Amino acid sequence: MLQGFWFGVIAVLWAGFFVLEGFDFGVGMLLPFIGKDEKDREVALRSIGPVWDGNEVWLLTAGGATFAAFPEWYASVFSGFYLAFALLLVGLIIRGIGIEYRGKAQTARGRRWCDAGVVVGSLLPALLLGVAFANFVRGVELDKQHVMTGGFFDLLSPYALLGGLTTLSLFAFHGAVFLGLRAQGPVQVAAGQLARKLAIPAFVFGGAFLFWTMGVRGGWLSKVLAVVIVIALVAAIRAMLLGRYGWSFTASSVVAALVPVWVFACLWPNVLPANNGAGLSLTVHAASSSHYTLGVMTVVALIFTPIVLAYQVWTYWVFRARVGVPVAVSGGPDDGLAQRARQAAQHLIDEPTPQ
């Protein structure tokens, strides 16, 4: 029973990571297209500035929970996917450096290098996460000790690359919708235009990956979740086209959350299927820690998880205000008065100080 509970908990942790870090990745990879000048890019980064590093905690927690609850799963995956996860880690480091040091850069060239780091550091994890999850579903080559025998390039099958393109396009769309909700002014306009363009690849790649997976693995629950994912994605696109960014972001968050849950539903009762023989697959019960360990973990999680969630919700509430400069709307009765007030203020600024 506890094995199934922690298998579900890890799926939920990945769901939280896909929702929260997903729009971070999306904003980062869209940085060159979101604005015409440096100020627009600064606004885009300010939209995720207070929360991006906190969102990464979901990845650390998912990895830690996997290590504690299913140590053999952790060992098999991190040894076989070592190079892929190393590249993912490099991407996260480069992105963090780009975000943190952009405001400290003294030259335009330095800020461009930081922007490049943010873009690369967002694209790389978004792609590799999809490749990794696709290989979980497809299965990998395992020996009797559940050690992966394939190399890095064995992970780059057409199916796995399609999974990478799925998460890449989904996160890009998710990030564009987030910017449409969070920003205002030229950045919001540009985000809406990008979201319209990104809706097509997100739907095409996502639909193709879901359809292909149904022929590879999965039971009735995974098929139900796949249908819900498609419906939520269509709802997100429709709401975005109507300019309802709040509803669109809610629906795209449902999509992002259900993707890892759907993958875990496809895996059950395995944690790492073997494509060279079903008998070599690593199951949930074979990979788990002792009952005592899982019991202690459950008590700790029930105490501290609500505290962490409350803190993160409070953080988002504190930084809920939109960022950017709103687009001026002309034609109102006070436009002339407001314009004269701005001219008077500018005159005071420009007037030389008497000596």
Helix axes 220-241, 245-267, angle to 10 degrees: 160
Its pTM stands at: 0.86
What is the full per-residue pLDDT of the chain (355 aa) written as tens digits?
888 999 999 999 999 999 999 999 999 999 988 877 788 888 888 889 888 888 888 998 999 999 999 999 998 888 888 888 899 999 999 999 999 888 888 888 888 898 899 999 999 999 999 999 999 888 888 888 878 887 778 888 999 999 999 999 999 999 999 999 998 888 889 999 999 999 999 999 999 999 998 877 777 888 899 999 999 999 999 999 998 999 999 999 999 999 999 999 988 888 988 888 778 888 998 889 999 999 999 999 999 889 989 988 998 898 888 887 765 444 444 444 444 444 444 443 344 444 4
Main-chain phi, psi angles of 240, to 5 degrees: -65, -40
Q: What is the H or E stretch that residue 270 is in?
A: strand 270-272
What is the spatial distance between Cα 274 and Cα 260, in angstroms, rounded to a whole number? 19
Strands (E), 201-274: 270-272
What is the spatial distance between Cα 212 and Cα 204, in angstroms, rounded to a whole number? 12
Residue 324 structure tokens: 């950017």
- The answer to whether 173 touches 195, Cβ cutoff 8 Å, is yes
- The answer to whether 175 touches 24, Cβ cutoff 8 Å, is yes
What is the spatial distance between Cα 279 and Cα 88, in angstroms, rounded to a whole number? 31
